[in-house]
Structure formats: structure tokens, C-alpha cells
Amino acid sequence: MMEHASLRAVPFTDVTINDAFWSGRLQANIEQTIPYQYEQCKTTGRVDALKLEWKPGDEPVPHIFWDSDIAKWIEAASYTLATKPDAQLEALLDEVIALLASAQQPDGYLNTHFTVVEPGKRWTNLRDAHELYCAGHLIEAAVAHYQATGKRSLLDVICRYCDHIAQTFGPNPGQKRGYCGHEEIELALVKLYHVTGERRYLDLSAYFINERGQQPHYFDLELKERLKQGEKDRLAEFHRTVGYEYNQSHKPVREQVHVVGHAVRAMYLYSAMADLAWELQDDTLKQACERLWADLCEKKLYITGGIGPSGHNEGFTRAYDLPNETAYAETCAAIGLVFWAHRMLHLDCDRRYADVMERALYNGVISGVSLDGRKFFYENPLASNGQVHRQDWFECACCPPNVARLLASFGNYIYSQREEEAVIHLFVQGSATLDLGTQKLSLKQQTRYPWDGEVRIQVDPEQSARFRVRVRQPGWCRKATVRVNGEPVQPASERGYLILEREWSQGDVIELTLHMPVERVYAHPQVREDRGRVALQRGPLVYCLEEVDNSSDLDALLVPQTADFTQTYVQDLASGAVALSFEAQRLEADGPSLYRTERPRTSMVQVRAVPYCLWDNRSPGEMLVWLREA
């Protein structure tokens, strides 16, 4: 029996957030990002494609993954309704859902592209065609909409679709023994099982996970059939170079040791594996996840929480291959890492999972959206020559609505609960109501985190009782002090969490002080691009230099080993942020000679570093995370 298998997240609907760092982001998501993304889906034809009026020769042609963009928008908008009722938004959702329902075929099938563009090719190219991937996002949208509104208008449609999928796929005679080339439906089916209680959806998820990578390889079989029908394999050369590692089907999942292939696909697969490990108490899946986690964090994780260095496969390459200027680090991949880390945290309440979740959230995820909520990064490099900027939208628009749905449900990631235990993972000002089995518990956080490390937690049980409050001491924090009702305490620590067990009464207060100096961070020596370089981190935030603060040619700056870092709260930087100032050496050019025998002259200059998540929100220019060290 897994020790923490009963641990479950506190839903975001039971959490309120009033936080200096996050509230502006969440407000922009509601007021700007979600309405803006609907307009983009409308003007680009994604919404109208649901009318099934497309004819050959019409432009634009409904793409194979357009349905997923609509689904993620529905999910984000539904999460918003759950915490902020809006009659106009709810009516718009009803309108889009009615279009989706009208697009469903008599047998339950629901996919815009394969209904009007290639109607004869349903389920013939699972490797590349994204049908089950789109179905997965539709499932998540339906679950979110039902939970937010209580309406079954989309849920019933999607249950019909999933029943069609369950009839189509499986190990029985007459069924296809396939699975999707882009994982997503596996984790979505677990969510559908939770809201419906129908075991067949959990079993279907387990089937897709267990069948993956088995021999004879399904993708070989379906390709052979397509070639026999006279089709060409348009992606033959690409798949020859990336192999089945690209979609993590190179081995059965329990035999996989290394994180490989397309990063987003990997994160969604591992999330589903963790879900099933929790639901089925399957230690073999848990152990596989732990092996893969170790490989990622020890050899393939950017300091920002970004993952996947290569644009060729939108994913992983070899160990320690972490280039900076060419880093792909897709926003969706960092979001997927948050999903996986959160699930691992509920298998084993260990700080290492929460630390990575926090690193991604505060750096590699929210860098993907501008402060005004209307521009987006697909790729998140750690160095830029000034040519990289957020875009209004993308032809492949997976990242914008993915950010929107994560931010709309951000409260999910702060707390967990189980009988007689409350767990605090993240430090975010606001309140939450937890269910400890025998009674409700209110927790209220007051903090300016991550700008400082002072956290005040008020504990208000309905009745005085003995229970545990587990509080994470972040891995970046070398020293923490704790007081309860003003008295210093030295709590026990387990897997990076401080354990406070006592008789709690209304009005009790935990005061946590997390020592938060500026730290120099060095990469493993095998990360070639970072040799001789240092990154600056304060609390959970990774810092960078921007040209707007420091002039151009940032790579000519050298950080002295004796540099003294001044921390200043700057009110006009992103509505308030801590910037770091220090003196650095700048390499100077003496004359026009290309080469010389003398060491270059240096001058001392004042330098300012800002949080990486804020870059490219002011004047465009160069950016650098890993700095040369003198």
C-alpha cells in the first residue's frame, strides 16, 4: 500500500487567492486571455468549423487538432465560471457546446477534421492524426464544464463519444489494439471516471497505457495497412530519424527508463501513469514514474523548469544537452511537467516533486504569457539575441489555451488534504477550506512570497482537535524558522516537509520564515553550454539580464566571484518585483584588431537582473540567464 495514496488535492473551488505575485496574472487571464483566445478561435475558423460546412477547395481547411484548441478554451472558461459566475461567458459556452453537440455523428464519433475533410480515414493513422488526443481534451473540457455548471450538455456528448471509443479499441476480437501517437486521452479518462463513477472509463485508460509499446507494434501494423490502400507515408523520413521514442511507444511503459521523445507527449503519458498508479495502487507504474523522474531531473531539466531542448522533435535529446539560445522548452511541456509533478506529489508527499512544480510555475510556465495576457511564447529560450518575442497567436495554437486553463485552475496546486492532515505545498496569499475527514479546516495565508520569505498561516478548525499540518520547506531554502502562536518550535521534518502535530484551535497561527538570499547556481560540468557560467536565483525565481536594463552585448559581462547583490523592490517593474543589482566586469574592445596577444581590457559597470518570468514585457532586446563568471 502506498503510504500517501489517500492524499488528494484541495480543489481550486475551495481556494481563494489574493496574492501580490499571482492575482494580477489570474485577473489578466480572466479579463484578457480567455476572451482574446475565443476571438482568435473564431477569426481563424476553429469555431465555425464545428458547423461541418467545409467543402473541398474552401480555406482554411479544418486542421486535425483544431478541436483540441476549442476544448482547452472551454476548459479554461469553465474553470473561470466555477469561481466567478458570468452570465455572458456561460451563454457563449452554451453556444459553442451546442455546436460541438451538433457535430457529433450518429455513432457517437466527434472530430471535425475526419468528419468533413477526410471522412473515410477515421482511426487509420493513430500515430500522427491526433484523433484520440483531441478526444482527450474534449473529455477534460466536458468534466470541467460539468463540475463548474452542473450542466450535462457537453458531458453526455462526450460520454457517448467515449463509449464509441471503448467499442473501437481494446483487446477483444474486432477491436483495434491501438493507442494514440499523442498521449492525452489516458489522463482525461481518469477524470471522466471520477465524475461519472463509470469503471469502464478507468479500464479504457489502463488499456491504452498497458498496450503502449507492445509487439507487434501497432503503428507498424496500421502503416502497413495504409500503404496497402495506396497512401503515402508523408512523415516517413521524420519518423525514421526520431524512432518510436518520439511518442514513447518504443517499449512498454513499465520498461521505460529514460525520458525521451516529444516532451509534451511524455509529460501527459507520465501523468496518466501516475494517475493509474494512484487509482489502482500499482507499484510497477509508480516505480516506472520514479525512474523517469530521476532521469529528467538529474540530466534533462532546465533551471527554469523548461524541458525539451530540441525543436526537431519538440523534445528530448541526450543527457545534459541543455543549450540556452536554441532551447525549445515549449510552454506546453512546462505545463505538462506541473501536471506530472502534482500527481507524483500525491503518490509520495516528497518535496522534490513540489520543488520542481514550483520551479516550473514561477519560471518556465508563466514566462509563456505576457503580463497583459495577450501575447504568448511557444518556445522559452534562456538566452536571446533580441529577436525572440511573444506572438499574438500560432497556427499550432496549443500553448495559449494551455496556459489559460492552468492559470484558471491554479488554486489546485497549493494545498492537499487527507484524514487528520493538511498539507501546504505553495506559499500564496489567500484562504482555503480543507476536509480532514471529521471536520472542515480553514487555512489563511498572509505572505509577499516570492518577494520575501515571511509566511503567516492561520489555522481555524471547526472544533479544537489534534491533527497534522505539513508545510514544505523548499529545497532552495537552507534555513527556516517556525513559530506557533509566537513561540519558537522545532518541528520534525519528513521528505522536506515540516510536520506540526498538536491540538489546534481557532486562531492558532504558524509563522514561517524562509531564509531567502541570492544564490549562485552552477550547472553539472557535462552541460557544455554552462561551463564557466553562473545563474542567479532568489527563492523560487530564476533571474536574467535584459538589454533594457544593461545595454547590449550581455555576454560581454563577467560576474565577479566577490559580487555583492543588492535586492531592491521596484514598484514600476511588473507592478512590483524584486530586482538584483551588482557590479560586473564588461569586456571592452581596444581598437579594430580582430585578434591580439593581450587580454581584453575590462571596466566595471552596474548591472540589474530581473525575474526570468518577466522578460520581454518591456522594450525588446537581448536576454541572458547563464552569465559568464569572472
Give me the active site residues, please: 314, 398
Check the CA dihedral 224-228-231-232 and report its sign. Answer: positive
Determine contact, residues 229/213, Cβ cutoff 8 Å.
no
Distance in angstroms (rounded) separating the CA atoms of residues 105 and 113: 13
Residue indicated by cell numbers 541526450: 318
Determine contact, residues 139/158, Cβ cutoff 8 Å.
yes
> What is the DSSP secondary structure assignment for residue 463, as one 8-state letter?
S
- Which DSSP string do the residues of 272-336 spell out, in sequence order? HHHHHHHHHT-HHHHHHHHHHHHHHHHHSB-TTS-B--BTTTTB--STT---STT----HHHHHH
Rounded to 5 degrees, φ, ψ at 574 are 55, 45
Q: Which three cell numbers stand for residue 404?
A: 489559460
Spatial CA neighbour of 132 closest among 77, 75, 189: 189
Determine contact, residues 536/543, Cβ cutoff 8 Å.
yes
Residue indicated by cell numbers 474553470: 79
Sheet holding 497-504, edge to edge: 8-9, 415-418, 421-424, 465-472, 497-504, 492-494
